[in-house]
Amino acid sequence: MTRKEKKALARILIAGALLIAASLAPLEGLWKLLAFLVPYVIVGWDVLWKAVRNIAHGQVFDENFLMALATVGALALGEYAEAVGVMLFYQVGELFQSHAVGQSRKSIAQLMDIRPDSATVLRDGEPVETDPDEVAVGEQILVRPGEKVPLDGVVVSGASTLNTAALTGESVPRTVAQGDEIVSGCVNLTGVLTVQVTKPFGESTVSKILELVENAASKKAAAENFITRFARVYTPAVVLGAVCLAVLPPLFMGGWATWVHRALIFLVISCPCALVISIPLAFFGGIGGASRRGILVKGGNYLERLAKVETVVFDKTGTLTQGVFEVASLHPAQGVTEGSLLECAALAEAYSNHPIAQSLRRAYGRDVDESRVTDVKEIAGRGVTAVIDGQSVAAGNEKLMADMGVKAASGSETGTVVYVARGGKYLGRVLIADRVKDSAPAAIRELKARGIKTVMLTGDAKAVGQAVGNALGLDEVHAELLPGDKVEHVEQLLAKKSPKAALAYVGDGVNDAPVLSRADVGVAMGAMGSDAALEAADVVLMDDDLGKLAAAMDVARKCSRIVTENIAFALGVKALFLVLGAFGLASMWEAVFADVGVAVIAILNAGRMLRGK
């Protein structure tokens, strides 16, 4: 508990003890009033002060005014114990609220701990400690073990492992060495790193993440906006209702004291604090809980939409697949070994920077002896020819093989095929493909288990797109699309969905900005350090784990369920007790439950978002 909460608890305990003493003491008249007035002032002076101050500022109709009016009225009617009890239990509810909000802020603060306190910059070869925002792009910083990486940059020297849990929610450290890019907010675990800064602090990953989380509370969900508008109309309406209840029946039936007492009970019951506090708390807790898993939600409105998603549209390259060409399989001709086929292809591509050539050399796994390769020629739209160990070698597509008079054995594989021939004889073929991410199959199964339709849009050839779609079990695949075609397809899907449902688009955030913006919810994948993703998306998954998409939806659906429960429970109980109070069937103590009890229960329910239950 905070110091403020401890003081509030002490006031409640002291006032409670004095209330019990005053109730048991055989006092009458003024002495009885004074005995109850002491605990009343101890526990309720701040409520009275806020009510007076708000009235002076033109803010009349709030819970402080309702509490002050009801309890002062109860004192005037001689209901001393009830007046103190109402204020006492109201403060108990306020304490619960304060603690719950504090826990939620604490969970957000844990994410905020990624903010670096300082940076050690190398100037004239000497380490100088300074503020991160005073380090210029191009300068070199020193990051020692145990320190947070203060700015985005590239490792100039050193090797280490980084803890990225604060950004991605993953506990597995990431290994970095010279030439690797690193982002601010990670914690250096082992070696000393020298990093050349590539972005000023204001544009660094850590700054943008903190800005997103800090601004998330300002983007309210529809339920939050409804409660705000509801409270503005509801509070003055119930005050007017209480006045009518106190004045109109006695004009015809008499018994002014009875009806004024009922009106005061009516006011206590009507306080909207259960809704005004618990609904924003649920969304705040949802955003905080998601952030701890490495899922950034830019506002309660996006969390609310995410709960309604019935269709998820995926980009292919970089989202469902690795986005990197890899050797998928080797198919040597009879009498040729796989090693010989791969070596010949890697040597032929020794001087090429094409992604396919790079994938062949990576698969070869050894240093290519370029001295063995001469007379290299690149033939546009065909492939390459070279002389290796004195023999002519061709590596390329079927057209190149036909040009060389070599009969190639084609296969049914989906992907890019490199055919290889040496000395005019066919050696075999190498299949190059963009691999499906390891997390993709399980992620798609989890979405389908939740009743969500899955669609993939890609610019790749139909055969490639369909192969990925079949492997993952997607419901629809649309291939050979330009960026504008993707937007058009999303528009068509949006037109087909039910009015209350939502559509999410998941992309890598680099070239999908138009579609991310058009979807009901734009989700960026693998976005640690990606400016485009942080700008364009509504939800950012800070690493490449597609499984976190289902986790984000679970958080959103749980939050939506809690909000619905709180609204139904609070309004239902209050409506019941307002009727009972108006007919004299509810006492002030029952009114306390209808206000404070409902608020505490709603707050505890909203607090489940923080506890992950």
Measure the CA–CA gap between 134 and 117, rounded to whole angstroms.
12
Measure the CA–CA gap between 419 and 341, rounded to whole angstroms.
10
> Within 10 Å of residue 423's Cβ, how many Cβ atoms?
12
Of 46, 113, 180, 315, which is the active-site residue?
Answer: 315
- DSSP reduced 3-state for 173: coil
Q: Which stretches of 405-520 are assigned E, i.e. beta strand?
A: 416-422, 425-436, 453-457, 476-478, 502-507
> Is residue 149 within 8 Å of residue 187, measured between CB atoms?
yes
> Is residue 612 within 8 Å of residue 289, measured between CB atoms?
yes
Measure the CA–CA gap between 315 and 477, rounded to whole angstroms.
10
Measure the CA–CA gap between 9 and 3, rounded to whole angstroms.
10
Contacts of 458 (CB under 8 A, 6+ apart): 315, 316, 317, 464, 465, 468, 477, 478, 479, 480, 481
315 is catalytic: yes
Q: Which candidate, 24, 9, 537, places its Cα nearest to that of 305?
A: 537
Single-letter amino acid code for the residue at 507: G
DSSP 284-319: HHHHHHHHHTTEEE--HHHHHHHTTEEEEEEETBTT
- DSSP reduced 3-state for 368: coil
* Long-range CB pairs of 344-347, under 8 A, 24+ apart, other chains included: 344/388, 344/393, 344/395, 344/420, 344/422, 344/427, 345/395, 345/418, 345/420, 345/430, 347/372, 347/373, 347/386, 347/388, 347/393
Tell me 250's DSSP state. Answer: H
Tell me 142's DSSP state. Answer: E
Measure the CA–CA gap between 597 and 432, rounded to whole angstroms.
65
Q: Which candidate, 118, 100, 111, 181, places its Cα nearest to that of 528?
A: 181
Strand pairing partners for 506?
314, 523
- Residue labelled with tokens 């597995």: 172
Helix 440-449 and helix 462-472: axis angle, to 10°?
Answer: 60
R_g (Cα) of the chain, nearest Å? 34
Measure the CA–CA gap between 458 and 414, rounded to whole angstroms.
15
User: What strand order describes the sheet that includes 539-541?
Assistant: 295-297, 539-541, 521-524, 502-507, 309-315, 453-457, 476-478
Encode 5-20: b = buried (16+ Cβ within 10 Å), e = exposed: eeebeebbeebbebbe
Measure the CA–CA gap between 597 and 3, rounded to whole angstroms.
24
- Give catalytic residue positions: 315
